[in-house]
Amino acid sequence: MAEARLGVAFQFQVTEEGIIVNFDRNALKFVGRAIVKSAKRRVKGAKKAILKRSFPATPATWILLVAALSAARYSEHETTVGVLGKVERGLPWSHSLDPKTVIAVAVLVCATILWMLIGHIQQFILRSLLQYKAFLYEPRGKLSAKTKCVLGLVKLLGGKNPTLYSYEKSLPYLPVPDLDATMKRYLESVRPVLCEERFKEMEKLAEDFKNGLGKRLQRYLVWKSWWSTNYISDWWQQYVYLQSREPLMINSNYYGVDAVEVPSPIQSARAANTIHALFLYRKQILKEKLEPQFAMGIIPLCSEQFRKTFGTTRIPLKTQDHLHHHGSSNHAVIYHRGRFFRLHGYHRGVLLKPADLERQIVKILEDESKPVPGEELLPALTTADRNLWAETRSTYFSRGVNKQSLDCIEQAAFFLNLEDLEMNYGEEESEDMDTLCRYLIHGNGHSCWFDKSFSTYIFKNGRFGLTAEHSWADAPIISHLGETVLVEDFHFLGYKEDGHCKGEPEFVLPPPPRLQWDIPEKCVSIIETCQKNAEKLISDLDLHVLAHTAFGKGAIKKMKVSPDAFIQMGLQLSYFKDQEHFSLSYESSMTRLFREGRTETVRPLTMEACAFVRSMRNPAATKSERKELFIKAAEGHVNNFKRAMSGEGVDRHLFGLYVVSKYLEEDSPFLKEALKEPWKLSTSQTATQQTKRIDYDKNPAIKNRLKTAGGGFGPVADDGYGVSYIIAGEDTIFFHITAKVSSTKTDCKRFSKTVQESFAEIKALFDE
């Protein structure tokens, strides 16, 4: 008897009696839903592709084809091999129309078909080229001939002036990794943290999973990858973020700080320039004029996450939140001294200039009205447990004036807080920096609307900062926004000598209207409780910012080591010193080389990293031995990072398998054990110089003025560290270190000192 399988839904058995067909009901449901969902998305995507001109063949190409075919039709030497004539004769209404009209219609039809065909062929070729990932593993200055050829073709087919979403249809889909390879890499990654007996247990569980349930779950995952643009991103957003019921503040949001220099100490002027720059950035996204990002300056990164930058709010609902996107909003909501104001960014369809916006901001600052009961602490609801906030929203904010005002906030392009506090920081490590960053991640519990895609702060002395909600996009998108806004503010808009916005107001505008509220006493009581709970969360956050100025990227590059690998190995050494044991470590890597890609986990703790760390703690180890082990560990980390970028990571694959197992109501002991281990050391690097709005090499002065300390996030584990870092220049690296005050095992300042010691010890290995 022979057996063959088709997909995961049907099983065919060929017997002597004939062909027997069996089907899996769960599989049919799974596949059916995937097909329907995919079909809807593809129809919607095709519509957008035409309306937004995202085919590789541009409208200019179509016009050129129309002109060429028209010339061919009327020339004495007809060059369409009779195709136009056949189309003319084949038109059903050709006999009832004027001959010239028939010819014109035939030309348009042929040109359109040919244009779309060229676009799809070009798109197919480009997608095939972009599946090539060998360039990641080759030294930047020693690319192979094949890689140079691929990069050249990508640049040629990409066109001269690509728009923001030009490449979206051409990006390859994220592949489902091989199950055997994932099992092998997973076991390698946990070997350093498991004892011999525990590791053998995990080996047995992995083997059973790989040869049993894992095969079935893998088939489902592969099937989903055929029908979706990204097999994991939608589940990642849904199950990791939107279904989480924990408060967003500290647990989910992340923050970014201003440049070290403050261009204007006047709050109203800085706010006006910032608002104008934000609306300009939004306009670039809507018109797709924002330049897409590239790896190596040639390979495009997915731009999908930019779509929801503005006008997006995470709406609290029971069991699962919903991302509401209102892309046409032309207003921002300003929060000042417990009151909410609606500020229009446009007047009569024209974007207001900074001078007009500054006058509007001054009117808000001078408004002496008082908040109504419950209004001042109202944002504390967005820091609450999501079910509590959902119930409160449904009960008290679903009708009347409260609904109108809440709609205004949730549909706003962004939320901005004019703070009465003054904030300062410099290039050196200080309490001022810690205070600023603590405020940006949590404020006072009611200083920002945590549901918004991002919220901005303008402090009394002109200092700028922002915090972002995590479900809709990852930190590189917000850091791109922050960097672009700073470039616009510092370099293009600027200020007068007295610190006010340049130019003069053009319009006489009414004061920004206040949002109205009618909050019942019961709701006020709930809001006050949310505020108290928020303050408890705030009091449990330990945060310290380390400004490492002993050396930076310049010195590390002289060692011929990847700066990121140097930092990661330094963090492993620091963590071992601090905790006296190894723990699972997380570093975020992007998968935006693929369509709708988000992140993947790099596991920096490897056997090579452990060997290096132990050598540094072993007095008998020689300097050359330690150096050799460090280089080996660093090279291994770089390769792991590249594998994660190439879609060959471990964690998103395991997560996808887990989701399928839950859908099928199948219990997997292996997946339970594999996914329950906490990340005691969670790390991420903040990118710099992402925008090409200016040429940094030709403008070193503005490059120095835009020097920033980056940003950070809260701790992932109760007794672990969250570490975000930014390579701020040739001689400076900023580290944002977070932990929980309630943990007796962690201390941010202690860890900060250990980092400095460890970095100095590693650098000494390379000193002559």
Helices (H), 399-520: 400-411, 431-442, 475-487
Which of 384, 450, 395, 372 lies closest to 417 in space, CA to CA?
Answer: 450
Annotated active-site residue in 442, 470, 544, 736: 470
Contacts of 228 (CB under 8 A, 6+ apart): 34, 37, 38, 41, 234
CA distance 741 to 755: 19
Angstrom distance (rounded) from CA 325 to CA 413: 10
CA distance linking residue 332 with residue 458, whole number of Å: 14
The answer to whether 303 and 485 are in contact (CB under 8 A) is no
The rounded distance, in Å, linking the Cα atoms of 435 and 300 is 38
Q: Which residues, 6+ apart, have CB-to-CB distance to 460 below 8 Å?
A: 267, 419, 420, 421, 422
Reported residue count of the chain is 768
For residue 467, the Cα-to-chain-centroid distance in whole angstroms is 13
Say whether 311 sits in a helix, a strand or coil: coil
Place of tokens 């997006």: 312
d(CA 638, CA 644): 10
* Catalytic-residue membership of 736: no
Label residue 400 left, alpha or beta by phi (over 0 means left) and psi (-120 to 50 means alpha): left
CA distance 296 to 293: 10
| CA R_g for the chain | 29
For residue 533, what are its two tokens?
A: 């709970």
Cα separation, 677 vs 680, in Å, equals 9
- Residue 94 burial by CB count (10 A; 0-12/13-18/19+): exposed, middle or buried? middle
d(CA 556, CA 667): 47
Residue 104, token pair as written in the block: 């014109």
CA 668/CA 53 separation, integer angstroms: 46
CB contact at 8 A, 196 and 202: no
**Encoded tokens for 97:** 């129309």
Residues forming the active site: 470
